[in-house]
Amino acid sequence: MSETAKERVYTEAEIAARLEKELPKWRYENGWIRRKYKTHSWKGTLMVINTVGHLAEAAWHHPDLAASYAFVEVKLQNHAAKGITDKDFELAKKIDEVVQWQPAKEAGALEGTPSADQRFAYIKYD
């Protein structure tokens, strides 16, 4: 998209409908779509932050983050468009896909972190 092209900004009703259908763990509040990821510890919090950072930089669309010992909140809004656009929805989907990925639930060689040993727990999956 050229820098002069205006991106479509969604109405609150459209945002609510898309979140319900496509991103049910996200909510719309004060002009942002938001999601809180719960973690088991600071290690998990840093892993989520780094994952979001990588995806945001690759997408060239940067969220606001709030973090504490056991959570990360991701807030998305298209500052240039002054609202919620397709960029926000697409990045939110990619963040969910990667942060919530559980290889142990798929067939394959990747077994995932040991669920019986909480020393290795880092994300509180949905």
pTM: 0.92
CA distance 51 to 86: 20
CA distance 7 to 18: 17
Give the domain range for residue 39: 34-100+120-126
Q: Is the pLDDT of residue 46 over 70?
A: yes
Beta pairing, strands 64-68 & 32-38: unpaired
Render pLDDT for 14-42 as a digit per residue (tens, 0 to 9): 999 999 999 999 999 999 999 999 999 99
Q: Sorting pLDDT into bands at 50, 70 and 90, what band is 5?
A: low
The answer to the question of residue 107 being in a domain is no
CA distance 29 to 98: 23
The answer to the question of residue 57 being in a domain is yes
Of 89, 16, 31, 26, give the one whose Cα is nearest residue 59. 89
pLDDT at 4: 47
Instruction: Provide the number of structural domains found in the chain.
Output: 1
One-letter amino acid identity for 42?
W
CATH number at residue 48: 3.30.1360.20
